[in-house]
A = this chain, B = another copy of it.
């Protein structure tokens, strides 16, 4: 028995998220099916981040146990033969039996892509949120810097989440300009449900002048969900890398 760590990328547009839901096309189900086609084994994969429907990944990490004799380093390439076009295994490596893609992770990096022009959006519409209004980038950078560090992010969590421990440490949050692109890149020890999309929505509200930096401070201090911006659309979000 070996434990395999698989790094995968996928275009989330046509997936109903990472986690299995009866009758729907999900990332874990498509991976498990391909592993079965390749090895004959019925496995259960665990992922580092349970991306929502429409959310993409360039560096999702999954792990599973296998009795297969395929050399670990060649597993990714062999698996790709059985995967559809919108998901691809980049790398495979054998790991310790207790490796867990999420619990073993030190941090994760997500990128939120905003496209600021009608021209060319047709080609990037699957991977970017269209926003053509004026944005005060300096304000957005200031807000990203306020969110950096250890904070109680419960106001940035989707309503109805059952998580109790809502303190997270954001190690870096960059606002990168490359017109017509605006990229938000955030690295943290962990993220609450919808947290990155709510952070992106909040930065956009601040950028367009509909929300102040003082309100952001107050959302972090009071945990008041109503102070935070709307959840930005899934299509702009991508899980870039999981750090171990």
C-alpha gap A122/B122 in the complex (Å) = 17
**In the complex, how many angstroms separate the beta carbon of A129 from the nearest chain B beta carbon?**
14
Q: Are B86 and A11 in contact (CB under 8 A)?
A: no
Kindly state whether residue A10 has any CB partner on chain B within 8 Å: yes
Q: A110 in the interface, Cβ–Cβ < 8 Å?
A: no
The answer to the question of A95 belonging to the interface, with a C-beta cut-off of 8 Å to chain B, is no
A69 at the interface (CB under 8 A from B): no
Residue pair A123, B9 in contact (C-beta under 8 Å): yes
Q: Is A16 located at the chain interface by the 8 A CB criterion?
A: no
B9, B86, B90, B123: the one contacting A127 at CB < 8 Å is B123
Which has the most chain B C-beta neighbours within 10 Å: A90, A118, A121, A122? Answer: A122
Q: Indicate the size class of the contact surface on chain A.
A: 10 to 19
B85 touches A123 (CB 8 A): no
Interface check A87, CB cutoff 8 A = yes
**Interchain CA distance A186-B53 in the complex, whole Å:** 39
Q: Which residue of B lies closest to A56 (CB)?
A: B123
CB-CB under 8 A from A122, the residues of chain B are: 9-11, 85-88
| Bound complex: CA A119 to CA B77 (Å) | 12
A and B contact pairs by CB, cutoff 8 A, 23 listed? A9-B119, A9-B120, A9-B122, A9-B123, A10-B122, A11-B122, A11-B123, A11-B125, A56-B123, A58-B119, A58-B120, A58-B123, A85-B122, A85-B125, A86-B122, A86-B125, A87-B122, A88-B118, A88-B121, A88-B122, A90-B118, A90-B119, A123-B127
Which A76-104 residues have C-beta < 8 A from chain B? 85-88, 90
Measured between beta carbons, the chain B residues less than 8 angstroms from A85 are 122, 125
Complex Cα–Cα for A122 and B126 (A): 12
Residues of B within 8 Å of A123, CB to CB, are 9, 11, 56, 58, 127
Among residues of B, the one whose C-beta sits closest to the C-beta of A89 is B118
